[in-house]
Every structure is written in C-alpha cells, then in structure tokens.
A and B are shown apart, each in its own frame.
Chain A
Amino acid sequence: MQSVNQYFLNIYIAIKSVLIGMSITFRHLFTKSVTVQYPRERLPIPGTSRNLLLNKIEDCIGCDQCVRVCPVNCITMDTIKVFPEDDLGLASDGSKKRLWLPRFDIDMAKCCYCGLCTYPCPTECLIMTDEYEYATYERNDLVFKFTDLDPIQIAELKEKDHIRSMEKEKKKLETAKQAAAKPGKNGGKSGEGT
C-alpha cells in the first residue's frame, strides 16, 4: 500500500515541480536581461584597474626605477646623457631633465599588470590607463614604443654619444699615461667623471 502511495506521490511531486519550474522560467522571460551589448555599451572601469601602460614621455626623466622594479623585465630603456649644449627643460616635479631617451619600450605581451612600475615613478609619468582593447595580429605590435625622438635624431645622438665616449676614453688613456709618467698621483680613477 505504501509503495502505491509513493507512486502517486512521485507523480504529484513531478508535475508540481515541473509547473513550479515553468512558472519561474516564465517570470524570467519578462525580467530585464543582464546582457551588456559590449562594443556599444560598456561598464565603467574601476579607478584602480590596471590595463594598458602609458608613459608620458615628455615628463620622463629616465631614472630607470620602473625598469629595475619590473618583475618580468618588460620595460626596456636606453638613455643618453645630455650634451652641454642641450636643454631638455624641466619635468613636472621641477627637476631638470638630464637624459635623452632614445628608447622606452614596454612589451605588453610580457607585462603581468602588477602595476609596481607606476609607484616608484618620481614624476608620475608612467601610469596605468583604462584602455584594455589593444589586441593585435602580430606579437611584435604589442611592444609599445614611447620615445618622442625620430630615428634620425636617435642616430645623431648615438653618433654624438659615441664620439663623446671615444674622447673620454682617449682622455682616460692620456691621464693614465700621465699618471704612469708621474707616479704617486691617484691611480686610474678618472673614468667616473660627470
């Protein structure tokens, strides 16, 4: 007798639960959908989000701190010391800019979005933007180049730098020679001059 009751109870429960389920889905048929039609509608990005890196190069003093702190080595920076005749102006924090930046590359394919590079930046020129759509067809296109110098300028600067370092080398050799000729004066410590 009990199993007969169970049989009818099962049928009752099955029909009831199907009807409950149908009423729930019918209600959801008319509730507002949660879809965001993405390319046309966007949700606002939180202020602290970490996305594409941007270096405001005109404000960068080439201090190298971001390069050193980066855990994945995705920032590559070349610097050339200014020549006496150059004037690069002031950075936003009032300090004088003393370095040319022929190269400031960030490889976003390597970047791990930790944001550590933005904290030590003394002029706050390296920042995380809210740009997150920068997919490319070539992996090399993910290397973002921030230098404001054109290739000709860079070549000239490198040439000048090379000449300067050659001259310095020559001077060093001469001083070394002089030091060898006049023993007693400070050994070979002249290469560090600014």
Chain B
Amino acid sequence: MIQAEYYNIFVKIIDQLAVLDFLPPVWKFILASVIAALVFFHVIAIFALVAIWVERKVAGHIQDRLGPMETGWHGVLQTLADAIKLLIKEDIIAGGIDRRLFVLAPVIVFMTALAVFVVFPVGENFIVSDLNIGILYIVAISTLVVPGIIMAGWSSNNKWSLFGAMRSAAQIVSYEVPVGLAIVCAVMAAGSLSMQTIVESQAGGFWNWFIFSKFPFGFIAFFIYFVASLAEINRTPFDLPEAESEIVAGYMTEYSGMRWSFFFLAEYGNMLAVGAIATTLFLGGWQTPISLLSFIPGPVWFTAKTMFLVFVHIWLRWTLPRLRVDQLMYMCWKVLTPFAFVSIFGIGLWMTF
C-alpha cells in the first residue's frame, strides 16, 4: 500500500511507534494521513490568527494609526476574540438559495487551500508526501478553487455574489497561465517536478537560488509568479472579486459566521501556500543563504522566507489601489504572459548551453 516514492514523514513516525504495531499498514497510512491533515489545518488556523493580527497592525502603522490595541498586549488577542465571535454567530442561510451548493462551497474552497500543503518541503526530512509530480499537483489542486467559488456565488442567488464569483473565476483562469509558465521556468532549471528535488538543485548559497542563478530570467519568472499568484488568491491590488466598494463582498456576501470564516481561513491559507511555493521554486526552499548560517535548521529558513513573502503581500495590499477589470486582463495577457515566454526561452537556452 505504501509506495517507496510516497515518502511520508507522518507514515514514518507512525511506523516507528511500537504501540501501533497491531494495526494493519492500511490503517497506519490512513491514521498518518488524518494526523497530517489535522496538523496542517492547525498550521493554517494559527497562521491565520497571527497573520490577521499582523495585517491589521501593519495596515494601521502604514496609515499612521495603531491598529488593534485593546485585547491583550497591543491587541494580540483581537483575532481570537473575532474568531470566538464568528463561532457563536447565527449561521444564516437565506431563503431562495441552493442550499446544498451553498453549504458545500466553503468546504471545497478550504479543502483546496489545505490540500496543497501536502507537498510543501518544509525541511530536508519534513514533507508530508514528496510526490514526483509535486508542483503539477499544486497547479491542479489550486485550480479546483474555481468551482468552489462559482458554487458560492451562484448558489447565493445574489447579484453581488454572482458578479464576484464570475470575476474571480475569470481572474483565476487567466492568471493560471502566467503562474504555470513561471513555474515551468523553475521546473526547467531544476529538471524535475518534485518539490524536494527542486529545492535540492538550489543548494549551496543564495547565488544558486533560481531567482539569482539564472539572472535575469529567474528573477523575471519569480516576479511574474509573485504578481500572478497575488491575483490568483484575490489579494489587493487584484481583489476585484471581493471589492467592498463595488460588489459588497463578492462571492462571500451571503455567508456569515463559521462558513464565512472558512473562506477567510482559505484566503490566509492560500497566502501561506503561494508564499511557500514561491520560496520553494525561486528562493531555495529550506536551503540556507550562506553556509555560515547552516546551523539554523531548514524549517526555520523555509518559514522565514515564506513569512517574508507574506509580509510583502500585506505591504503591497496597503500600498496599491485596486485595478480595473480591463487593466487586470491587460496585465495578465499582454505583460506577464509574454515576459513569461521570454524567460522560458531564456532559461531553455541557458540549460541547453
């Protein structure tokens, strides 16, 4: 049942526990999977708790305000209080909606956000499953968010929701192209689709990371991936699907309480995910920048790089105004996509000669 190439740290841990020897291997595998899912669910939840607080603090200080200050030290418990409020809120399901799709939509959106965490190479030996098609798996899974969002928008029976869902679908489908092409750049440079191999091929100092080693093509590819992934997770300046000033809250308009907070968790989970993917593909994953600092373990580096990218997300959000729909599409098809082709061509030449 457990293939050799499906190397799984949780399976390994469960295998080594003598207490569980009475279980057949299949059950051990299922147990390991459930534990892995729970671990990453909590990673997303805790990250969201912290990131929402950080985002509000950064937003406040960028605007010369203070942000949350009342709950706990400098408002650290603010998100916790908000989460409790959301949990005890009434679960409103309005009349005239398609109940089954309405209930299912946040589950699908959150599930896709959670599923990509399977292949993140957090450390040298810390990866849930080092699939040999890891990055392709991410591209495939993260596209599944589109049906979820369209379900949410359509089942709500609300024009704002439908507009938001349509915009989101158009945006994600369009930006999947530059994202895919930018990923191809890194895949070509590494010669593998496996996340762990991509990281290993960037070993030996920061000048070997794809962002610097294939300059300028690697840098262009990283830049394209960063911008396009911002658009793919619907963050400012590409937050048209949930533009408050135009369409209330987009596809989330009719949701409240815990169902809404699942969308919110998915948004922050996606932020973490695209930060982790950019780190893996272009910033050397868990590799240390210089060998002098190799005493710091890999997961710390991975987390630090990801958090830096998440901080840049937040920073950009409070800097830039929202794009118009035509500007969004102009940027995708006329700027990012051609440049992605150029960098693919450049890296192709580089790898050939």
Contacts and interface: CB of A to CB of B under 8 A. Distances in A.
A28 B62 contact: yes
Contacts of B64: 28, 31-35
A33 B65 contact: yes
Contacts of A29: 58, 61-62
A37 B319 CA distance: 25
A16 to B, nearest CB: 13
A22 B316 CA distance: 7
Contacts of B318: 25
Contact of A26 (B60, B63, B315, B335): B315
Interface in B299-353: 315-316, 318-320, 334-335
Interface string A170-190: 000000000000000000000
Interface string A93-116: 000000000000000000000000
Contacts of A28: 61-64
A34 B60 CA distance: 10
B316 A37 contact: no
Contacts of B63: 28
B46 interface: no
B69 interface: yes
A106 B335 CA distance: 69
A35 B62 contact: no
B319 A22 contact: yes
Contacts of B144: none
Contact of A35 (B66, B316, B334, B335): B66
A30 B315 CA distance: 13
B315 A22 contact: yes
A28 B315 CA distance: 11
A21 interface: yes
Nearest to B334: A7
A35 B69 CA distance: 11
A153 to B, nearest CB: 47
A25 B66 contact: no
A68 to B, nearest CB: 47
A24 B335 CA distance: 25
Given A22-B316, A22-B319, A37 B62 contact: no
Interface in A17-47: 18, 21-22, 24-26, 28-35, 37
A11 interface: yes
Contacts of A18: 316, 319-320
B319 A21 contact: yes
B319 to A, nearest CB: 4
A11 B223 CA distance: 13
Among the interface residues A21, A25, A30, A34, which one has the most CB atoms of the partner chain B within 10 A?
A25
Nearest to A30: B61
Contacts of A35: 60, 64-66
Nearest to B331: A14
A31 B319 CA distance: 16
Interface of A: 7, 11, 18, 21-22, 24-26, 28-35, 37
Given A28-B62, A29-B58, A32-B64, 10 more contacts: A7-B334, A22-B319, A25-B62, A25-B315, A25-B319, A33-B65, A33-B66, A34-B65, A35-B66, A37-B69
Top 4 A-B pairs, shortest CB-CB distance: A35-B66, A25-B319, A21-B319, A25-B62
